[in-house]
Structure 1
Amino acid sequence: MEQPGRIALVTGGSRGLGRNVVLSLARRGIDSIFTYNSAVAQADAMARAVEEIGRRAIPMQLDVGQVDAFDAFVSRFTEALAGLGAARFDYLVNNAGISHHNALEKTTEAELDAIYRINFKGVFFLTQKLLPLLKDGGRIVNLSSGLTRIVVPGSGPYGALKAALEVLTRYQAKELGPRRITVNAVAPGAIQTDFSGGMVRDNPELNRQVADMTALGRAGVPDDIGPMIASLLSDDNRWVNAQRIEVSGGMAI
């Protein structure tokens, strides 16, 4: 179990993998502040689910693609920390992001800009803005993708920017090393959530294809990812740093 009083910030924590991370952390005794984009009711339900576990979770609205809103968010985040009796926090999980499926020759500038703004630029600058509030010895996890290793036609722009995030992860680990902050990238395989319109979860043929190419014989579920990230953030993994860790059940090996 974690030491009492530790706090995580999880972006995109009201649904999917982010939701599972918040719940997994709560089961380890860790409170969270989590962001959501627009689904207020879903975020409130998430906070209640954490309360049922006996921990606290505070929902905060944030569009991670709107960098000019980050200063105001950090101010509100500081107030939320104070509400939890803290001035700084322990863990940052950069989970929020969007999917994209289009061939290279058909991808528009607007599409590429959106992926860049949300999946890379937002992570870069939100982390930068939050660093003064992150404790020395803290942890950062950036959510990448199995698509940086496995080439699936139509996923090039998305995979390329997730690969950029993996390189950023190593630079963050190096530059934040003097503060004893570890930074790792977790790369899930195909997971059954509502991401990408729920395509892995709701399309039986695609689900079967994923299962057939996975050593463990099925598509992933959120419970395969959230507890792993919670474990990675723990002191048990304090010496794991600057790594890309794929959590895919052995896809395409």
Structure 2
Amino acid sequence: MQVAIVTGASSGIGRSAAVEIAERGIGVILTYGRNRQGGLDTVAAVEEAGGTAVALPLDLGDSGSFDAFRDTVAGVLRDTWQRDTFDHLVNNAGFAQPALIADMTEDTFDRLSRVLLKGPYFLTQKLLPLMADGGAIVNTSSNSTAAYGLEPGYSAYAALKGGLDVLTRYMAKEFSPRGIRVNAISPGPTRTRLGDDAFTRFPEVVPALVARTAFGRVGEPEDVGALIATLVSDESRWVTAQNIEVSGGYNL
């Protein structure tokens, strides 16, 4: 059985990706940050879908913990799947803390940088020795990096996601000798807990987002999770170094 690692899977896009991947017959190691119960709920959702999952804590902003995390993953692979390797990595964990350039603090910028760019970079580096040839990596970016429809307050978030887009292409180049495919997905407005559960706290923003979306609604986590699962599957065996927007035609 193949095995995928999905970071930030205690809710939202990560949870949906974990369930969609499991429904394709792939085992899942999922990570959570502060929301342990959410991680356990995702395990339950995977098991309800007939799959197998293990939830592990991971602070993506603490790269010093990555060696220990890799060792834990190696143990889980042996104990749960009798394997020494895994096949796919979904770098999904992240957070947003909007601020205008005039108001951004260095501390907030540094935290965003550690989680959104440094984290995926060095987590991937640490996990590569455990990754089987011929697998796939999917990085969760954002359509906030687009040249149109810029929203004030997302300069740091979008700039770092833009760095992840470039990193995706370099990963695809460097890992191609091992047959590892690397792609990014860029969700548009999606009903998740990002931004401290902004959709719940500010429901008044939803009609404006719907009006700017060609398909007339905001995205749901399942819309994005389905594409992530497709990108790690053999259906996408000839696709690498791509960044696919998943927005229902936002700003079309």
Q: TM-score range by the shorter chain?
A: over 0.9
Distance 1:146 1:234 in 2: 23
2:92 corresponds to 1:95: yes
Q: Which amino acid aligns with 1:133?
A: L
Amino acid in the other structure paired with 1:219: V
How far does residue 53 in structure 1 lie from its aligned partner after superposition?
1.8
Report deviation, 1:202.
4.8
1:127-138 equivalence runs, <5 A: 127-138=124-135
Q: Does 1:187 align with 2:186?
A: yes
Q: Give 1:234's aligned residue.
A: 233
TM-score after normalising by structure 1: 0.96
Aligned residue pairs total 249
Question: 1 CA distance for matches of 2:47 and 2:223?
Answer: 22
Letter in 2 for 1:21: A
Where does residue 242 of structure 2 map in the other structure?
243
Paired residues for 1:126-165 under 5 Å:
126-149=123-146, 150-165=149-164
**Corresponding residue number in structure 2 for 1:27:** 23
Match of residue 167 from structure 1: 166
Deviations along 1:150-173, whole A, 9 cap, x unmatched? 411110110000000000000010
Residue 220 of structure 1 aligns with which residue? 219
1:197 Cα deviation from its structure 2 partner = 2.1
**How far apart are the structure 1 equivalents of 2:40 and 2:171?**
32
Task: Name 1:49's counterpart in structure 2.
Answer: 45
User: Residue 109 of structure 1 aligns with which residue?
Assistant: 106
Alignment partners' CA distance in 1, 2:11 and 2:175: 29
How far did 1:238 drift? Answer: 0.9
* AA of the residue aligned to 2:96: S
Residue 203 of structure 1 and its aligned partner are, at CA, apart by: 2.8
Aligned partner of residue 104 in structure 2, secondary structure:
coil
Q: Tell me the SS of whatever aligns to 1:91.
A: strand
Report the aligned-residue RMSD: 1.0
**Residue segments in structure 2 that go unaligned for 5+ positions in a row:** none
Q: Give distance in 1, aligned partners of 2:200 and 2:246.
A: 17
| Rounded Cα–Cα distance in structure 2 between residues aligned with 1:159 and 1:190 | 14
Moved more, 34-43 or 179-188: 34-43
| 2:206 is aligned with 1:210 | no
Distance across 2 between alignment mates of 1:195 and 1:234:
26
% identical equivalent positions: 45
Alignment of 1:67-78 (within 5 A): 67-78=63-74
Task: State the distance in 1 between where 2:21 and 2:237 align.
Answer: 16
Q: Counterpart of 1:142 in 2: which secondary structure?
A: strand
The aligned residue for residue 119 of structure 2 is: 122
- Structure 1 unaligned blocks of 5 or more: none
2:36 paired residue number: 40
For residues 41 and 236 of structure 1, what CA distance do their matches in structure 2 show?
33
Partner of 1:11 in structure 2?
7
Match of 1:79 in 2: 75
**TM-score, scaled relative to structure 2:** 0.96
